[in-house]
Amino acid sequence: MRVTAKLFLAASGLIATALRAQSPVGSAPVVPVTTTAMPPAAAPAAAPTLPTPHIGQPDGGWNLQAAMTPIAAEARHVVMTFIDPIMVGVCIVVFALLLYTLARYRAGRNPVASRTSHNTLVEVVWTVVPVLILVVIAVPSFRLLANQYQPPKAGLTIKATGHQWYWEYEYPDQGGFSFDSIILSDEDAAKKGDPAKLGVDNRVVVPAGVTVRVLTTAADVIHAWAIPSFWVQMDAVPGRVNETWFKVDRPGVYYGQCFQLCGTKHAFMPIAVEVVPPARFAAWVAAKQKENGITPKTAAASAGSLTSTAAPAANAAAEVKTGVTPAVPTVTAPPAPAAPDASPATAPAPAATK
C-alpha cells in the first residue's frame, strides 16, 4: 500500500508540473517599451558650383579673359578700341620706316654717306606724334582709373590676408568668421572640376549682383590679390590695408593668383571666387556662422559696430551738404547736493556733579 501511495503522489506531481508548463505566458507582467522618434536627416549640403570652361580661367589663348565685371568690360573696351589699334599702327609705321631706310640708304645705292645732322620737320614730327598718341590713350585711361577707385556703396566686405603661401579670408559683416584657402593637388583639383594649380580647398563665396569690397593686407611679405576676369589687382602689404572692389552678376567660379613675387612658392597661391545666388549665399553664411559658434545677434552686433564707426563721418558729410548743423541733445545737470552746515554742532552740557 505504501508503495502504491508513493507512486500515486509522484504521478500527481508530474501532472501538476506539466499543467504549469502549459499555462499561458501572457500571465507574466509585460514591460512597456518606449520608442523615440528619430530626427529627420539633415538636408545634404549644396554641391559646389562647377567652373565653366573658358570663363574666369586661362584657356591657353592669346586674348584677354572674358570680362565679368563693369570695370573689366570698360577696361577691355579701352584695350581693344584704343591700345591695340595704336600699338599695331606704331609697329607698322616703325617697321615700314626701317625697311625703307635699309633699301633707300644702303651702301650700294649711296657710295658717299650723307652728312645730314638734323632735320627740323622730322624732329617736330617725332616729338608731336608721340605726345598726341599719349593724349589719346590718357583720356579713357583716366576715366577708367576714376571709376576703378571710386566704388559704389558696398553690400559685402571681405578681408584677404596674404601668407606664405596661402590666403586667409574674413567676413567682418557676418560675425567675423574666417578660414584659410590652400591650393589643392592636381588630383584633388581634377576631382572637383578645378583647373590644375588653381583649385583651392575653401573658395571665397559672394552673392551675385552685389558690390563686394575687398580689403587686402599681408602677414609677412608683399602679396597681390588679382583676378584677371574681374580686372582686379591690389597689393597686400604688411601693416597696411588696401581696398578694391568688384561686382559680378553671373554665378560661376572665377580664378586668380598672387601677382607679386613672394617667395619660392609664389606660383602656388591661387584664388577661387564662387559667385552664387543671394539665397544660397545666405545659407552658406548661416552654415559658417553655426560652424564657428556665431549667433545672428553676434553678427548683427558686429555689423552694427562697423555702421556706428562710419556714422560720424556720414553725419559730417550730411552737415556739409545741407548746411544744417545737427541739433545737440540737451542734458540737464543734476541738482547740486546741499552744502553741509559749516557751524559746529553744540555739544550737550555735562551733567552737574555734586
Tell which CATH architecture fits domain 156-302. Answer: Sandwich (2.60)
Distance of CA 113 to the CA centre of its chain: 66
Contact predicate 194/51, CB 8 Å? yes
Phi, psi of 213 (to 5 degrees): -95, 130
Which pLDDT does position 315 carry in this prediction? Answer: 43
Which pLDDT does position 52 carry in this prediction? Answer: 86
Which grid coordinates are listed for 135?
593724349
Q: Is 147 helix (H, G, I), strand (E, B) or coil?
A: helix
Predicted model pTM: 0.67
Which pLDDT does position 217 carry in this prediction? Answer: 96
Distance of CA 248 to the CA centre of its chain: 13
Residues 6+ away with beta carbon under 8 Å from 168: 160, 161, 162, 178, 179, 180, 181, 219
Which grid coordinates are listed for 111?
657710295
pLDDT at 45 over 70: no
Q: Render pLDDT for 106-140 as a digit per residue (tens, 0 to 9).
A: 888 888 887 878 889 989 999 999 999 999 999 99
Q: Residue ranges per domain, the chain? A: 66-102+123-150, 156-302
Radius of gyration of the chain (CA): 42
d(CA 217, CA 204): 16
Q: What are the beta bridge partners of residue 166?
A: 163
Q: Render pLDDT for 301-331 as a digit per residue (tens, 0 to 9).
A: 555 544 444 444 444 443 433 344 444 444 4
Compare 24 and 280 and report the one with higher pLDDT: 280
Phi, psi of 147 (to 5 degrees): -70, -35
Mean pLDDT for the stretch of residues 159-165: 96
pLDDT at 12 over 60: no
pLDDT at 214 over 70: yes
Smallest CA-to-CA distance from 265 within 167, 159, 161 is with 167
d(CA 183, CA 165): 9
Which pLDDT does position 283 carry in this prediction? Answer: 95
